[in-house]
A and B are shown apart, each in its own frame.
Chain A
Amino acid sequence: MRHTLFSFCTAKFLRLFAAGLLGLGIAGTALADEPVNAKGAPNDFVSAVGNNALAAIKAEPAAKNGDLSKINQLVNQYVLPYVDLEKTTRLAAGRYWRQATPQQQKDLTEAFKGTLIRTYSGALSRVDNVSALTIAPFRGDANADDVVVRSTLSQRNGPPVGVDYRLEKTSDGWKIYDLNVEGIWLIQNYRNQFAEQISQNGIDGLIKALNARNNK
Chain B
Amino acid sequence: MKKHIVLMIVAAACLMILSPGHARVTSGVWSKTHLPLPAAPPAFKNPKIEPSLLRLALEPQSQAPAKTSGAAQFRKQALNADNTVRIVLEAQTRVPQGMQDLIVPYVSQLVTSLGGRVETTYHSLVQASVPVSALLPLAGSPAVRYVRRPLVPRLLDVTSEGVAYTGADAWIKLAPFHVSGQAVKICILDLGFQGYSSLKGNELPPDVVTESFRADGDIEAGEVHGAACAEIVHDMAPDAKLYLVNFDTDVEQHNAVDWIISQGVNVISYSIGWTNAGAGDGTGPIDADVDKTAEKNIVWASSAGNYATDHYEGTFSDTDSDGWHNFSGIDEILEFEVPAYEVVGAALNWDDWGTWDGANYSGAANDYDLFLYIWNGSAWELVDTSTYPQTGGGEWPTEDIYGWYADFTTHWGVAIRKVHATRNCKLEIFTYGNDSTIEYDVPWGSLAIPADSPNAVTAGAVSWSNDAYHYYSSRGPTHDGRVKPDFGSPSGVSTDTYGNQGFYGTSASAPHVAGAFGLMLGRTPYTPGQIYRILQDRAVDLGTPGKDNMFGWGRLNLKK
Our verdict on whether A and B bind, yes or no, reads no
